[in-house]
Structure 1
Amino acid sequence: MRSSHILRSISLPTHHQPSLSSFSSLLSSSQPALLTGLISHWPALDNWTVKNNLGRLRERASGILVPVEWAQKGRGFMDEGEKGKTTMLLETYLDAFILDRIPSEDPTMLPNLTFYLAQHDLFDSIPELLEDIPGPFLEDYLSAGKGEVWQKNIWLGPAGTFTPIHRDPYHNLFAHLSPSPKTIRLYPPTIPTSTLYLAPPPQHQTSRLPVSPPNVSLPDWPLFEEARREERSVVIKKGEAVLIPEGWWHSVEGVGTGEGGEDSERLSVNFWFR
């Protein structure tokens, strides 16, 4: 069965420590890019680590409820297989699924499932977290558009998490904080939407493709081959950020090994802004 891994993605251009002017040009020209050296001063890079007990994330976790998605490894929430959503205490989630302090009642279940704290504004519940991502990043770069910062999210989960192809109604600045990388694949706003097999409303901005793009079976989803020919991709590593301009379709997957063979938890922060 032919899968789409035979097609090669176009690599994103890299901009090291882009000036505010260069950043604004990327926005105005709707060009996604890998940005290096932009968040290298963030204390979160050293503090929000398993070695450091996740720093303020764990220190301030008591009593805070968070939404958690669970699904089979490598398969997103649009998949028809085993999946679900629940709400739990942040301290329980961190101790059970990130810090491995709480043993599972059924150890055979966990290797096949991922439990993902996705798209949640913890900064609203724990404002002190903003002290770990300081500087001109928020004040200057996120004001490069209309100056509207809509939401700040934390994305935290083990290896194997997958967010299916979708697009946002805002610019997206996605910053990665963990040694284990993520892979982001992007498709231009002009791509025929028929090639992405979008879900019916209200999920009509999200693809029904159940697995990551390289693993899609083209005989089952033949139109997707056209989309893959327009695909850009990047492996985002610790201390890097990716600019995803408004309207660009994209998927995010917790795959790949970091320096020293790291393939464990993945922690990212993103900002939706205009």
Structure 2
Amino acid sequence: MTAPIREIVLDCDHSGAPKRFAGLVAAAEPVVLRGLVRDWPVVRAADNGPAALVTFLKAFHGGGVASCVAGHPSINGRFFYTRDMTGLNFGRRDATVADLLDQLVRQANDTHPLAIAMQSAPVREVLPGFAERHAMPLLDPSIAARIWIGNAISVATHYDSNDNVACVVAGRRRFTLFPPDQAGNLYLGPFELTPAGTPVSMVDVDAPDRDLYPRYAEAEKYARTAELGPGDAIFIPYLWWHAVRSLDPVSILVNYWWSDHALPTAPVQAMLHALLAFRDLPPARRAAWRALLDHLVFADDAGQATHLPEHARGIMGPISPEMRRDLHRVIAAVLQSK
């Protein structure tokens, strides 16, 4: 039995809303922001049906093409692996927003439609002028919007290496979230072959195979779910696992990714390097390195070097931009020598 995601309503006409939202981000807990973008013109257009929505979006003419994914009706909208795990169960092609919307409307009443989606397309490239009319009230304007358009499809459980605010524009979407510490119970797929860049869970949250994935029952204890409609938004914290299912024939979402870290993807590369460096060591050596890493990298007290004078703490203390550049050069030199 999953628990509901916490819900709040932010008064974005009040100057305190961004500050309150910053506190939610700092807490690193997911939250549904009901009605956050209810006043967006595109949401009001969607209220009048698919035809009005398509007309509204086509007014932002001149947009470029973006990569789209398409799968046979037999996949039931689930973009995933082939049965033998040698490939993916969908193909790719380029399309404009207008072309994709026309196809969605044409097959909206089909019993077994082709699964199609434009995923994570830069709004400024595919819908010029859209971002200026649809401001995100909680974030800095420099944070770029991305758009997701499709029909009743599902995206496998995955994580993002950034904080994320996702705003539902048209159709309903169901979100299922798991905290980062449940990775071991989600049965991760290959890192080398992924549907969209990051590893995904092999478990179908809508129909889990409990015999094949018995530890998933533990992950379910910590799962949180919410269904969002047009105008609603959700904050998904950094590295929280999330599965997303679109529930309607025409479904649109606009999202914003951002990070306060100078190199938001660097931890992924560090983890891959750690796999090479530590995983195949004998158990005793691996345990020794785990203790050192826990002390130097993952300890919460930040007191690893207080016994040293400040001038002698080096990388055990605060890492300056100059130290960061030096460390980059050292690591690059080591990797290049392998």
Q: TM-score range by the shorter chain?
A: 0.7 to 0.9
Q: Alpha-carbon deviation of 1:123?
A: 2.1
Q: Are the aligned partners of 1:62 and 1:90 in contact in 2 as well (CA < 8 Å)?
A: no
Corresponding residue of 1:272? 257
Corresponding residue of 1:197? 187
The structure-2 alpha-carbon separation of the partners of 1:64 and 1:21, relative to structure 1 and needing over 3 Å to count, comes to closer
Q: CA RMSD in A?
A: 2.6
**What stretches of structure 2 of length at least 5 have no aligned partner?**
12-16, 260-338
Corresponding residue of 2:6? 13
| Separation in structure 1 between the aligned mates of residue 89 and residue 223 of structure 2, nearest angstrom | 28
Q: Are the aligned partners of 1:66 and 1:89 in contact in 2 as well (CA < 8 Å)?
A: yes
Q: Residues 164-223 of structure 1: CA distance to partner in whole angstroms, max 9, x if unpaired?
A: 111111110000011x311000011122x2211212223484224263x03111111112
Normalised by the length of structure 2, the TM-score is: 0.65
Corresponding residue of 1:157? 150
Instruction: Letter of the 2:189 partner, please give it.
Output: A
Corresponding residue of 1:36? 34
**What stretches of structure 1 of length at least 5 have no aligned partner?**
1-7, 256-262
| Separation in structure 2 between the aligned mates of residue 158 and residue 14 of structure 1, nearest angstrom | 26
| Separation in structure 1 between the aligned mates of residue 31 and residue 178 of structure 2, nearest angstrom | 13
Higher strand fraction (1 or 2): 1
Structure with the bigger RCO (C-alpha within 8 Å, sep 6+) is 1
Corresponding residue of 1:5? none
* From 163, 174, 187, the counterpart of 2:178: 187
Q: Are the aligned partners of 2:69 and 2:93 in contact in 1 as well (CA < 8 Å)?
A: yes
Tell me the secondary structure at the aligned position of residue 234 of structure 1.
strand
| Separation in structure 1 between the aligned mates of residue 142 and residue 181 of structure 2, nearest angstrom | 25
Higher helix fraction (1 or 2): 2
Q: Are the aligned partners of 1:12 and 1:233 in contact in 2 as well (CA < 8 Å)?
A: yes
| Separation in structure 2 between the aligned mates of residue 227 and residue 92 of structure 1, nearest angstrom | 40
Tell me the secondary structure at the aligned position of residue 169 of structure 1.
coil
Identity of aligned residues (%): 21
Q: Residues 7-43 of structure 1: CA distance to partner in whole angstroms, max 9, x if unpaired?
A: x111011111152232111111101001023212211
Corresponding residue of 2:275? none
| Separation in structure 2 between the aligned mates of residue 273 and residue 22 of structure 1, nearest angstrom | 17
Instruction: Letter of the 1:9 partner, please give it.
Output: T
Based on CA coordinates, which of the two structures has the bigger radius of gyration? 2
| Separation in structure 1 between the aligned mates of residue 166 and residue 226 of structure 2, nearest angstrom | 12
Normalised by the length of structure 1, the TM-score is: 0.79
Q: Which runs of 4+ in 1 moved over 4 A?
A: none
